[in-house]
Amino acid sequence: MSFEQVERSTAAGNPRRLYEFARGAQRWRYTGGDRDFLLDSQSYRAVAVRDDGIRQSGHTASDVLTITAPGDFEVARLYRGLPPSTEVAVILRDVHEGDGDARVVWMGRVAGVNRSSLDSTEVRCQSLDAALGQPGLRLAWTRGCPYTLYDRNCRVNPEVHRVAAALNSVTGDLVTAGEFGQYPDGWFAGGFLAWDLGEAGLERRGIRSHQGERLTLLGAGDGLRSGQAVWAYPGCGRSMAICNTKFNNAPNYGGAPGLPGKSPFDGTPIF
């Protein structure tokens, strides 16, 4: 029997919902049944997991899917402290026992995690439609550059400017390495620190300040340890002078250094 026939039958169906979470090449697979489920050689581990149903109200921003799982849920551990710097994708499939035809019924990403009690975790998931429907940032007419460093408008190649280092120490949001001291103070401020998580890809933390061999991160350096290999990417002060001397990128500068001091429309000051 096909999936549709089993799904509509009154007695032949034995439904299962399968949950897959993906971060880079890393995968977590679960099912809410009483035993593990094998699909296309992939094992879905049986845990006490369920969701509050798929909604299609027409207002994608409010159609949040909440997955309830045990307190020690592996995916939820990623969100203790700071959330991961890369999105965790969510895929829901429906299948019937004895049938290998699993239909994808919902796709989205983890929007947040709430640990309501010691033995229960709520994972809030946002659909792909809701993510695509969010308004984007608008460019402003400013003296400083409005582009995000290393993006497609800035066009600076981050790999050309990255600095490989081995951490000497990690204390909260403060990390040190001898390689950082080879650059003037503030060189890495506004940039980011990256390190390899294996299958999960790269983890990133913004850099608040740089002084000597010390970098202060935006948030704690969870997962970092002494001796770990990292890459530090310099930041930008968003001025024409820094864009030109630090990155040799003046032709792609997005600001207007010659911006007049008064608006041409109503004469109000421009700062």
In tens, the pLDDT along 117-166 reads: 888 999 999 988 776 666 666 777 788 899 999 999 999 999 999 999 99
- Name residue 25's beta-bridge partners: none
- Name residue 204's beta-bridge partners: 194
Q: Considering only 94-98, 196-200, 224-228, 259-263, which range has the smallest mean pLDDT? A: 259-263
Question: What is the C-alpha separation between 105 and 53, in angstroms, rounded?
Answer: 11
Q: Do domains 3-132 and 158-252 have the same CATH topology?
A: yes
Alpha-helix residue ranges (DSSP H) falling in the chain? 3-8, 74-77, 128-132, 158-161, 240-247
Q: What is the CATH architecture of 158-252?
A: Beta Barrel (2.40)
What three-state secondary structure class fits 4?
Answer: helix
**What are the pLDDT digits (tens) for 6-62?**
555 555 556 889 999 999 889 999 998 788 988 888 999 999 999 998 887 777 666
CATH code: domain 3-132 is 2.40.10
Q: Which residue has the higher pLDDT, 222 or 213?
A: 213
Indicate the domain borders of the chain.
3-132, 158-252
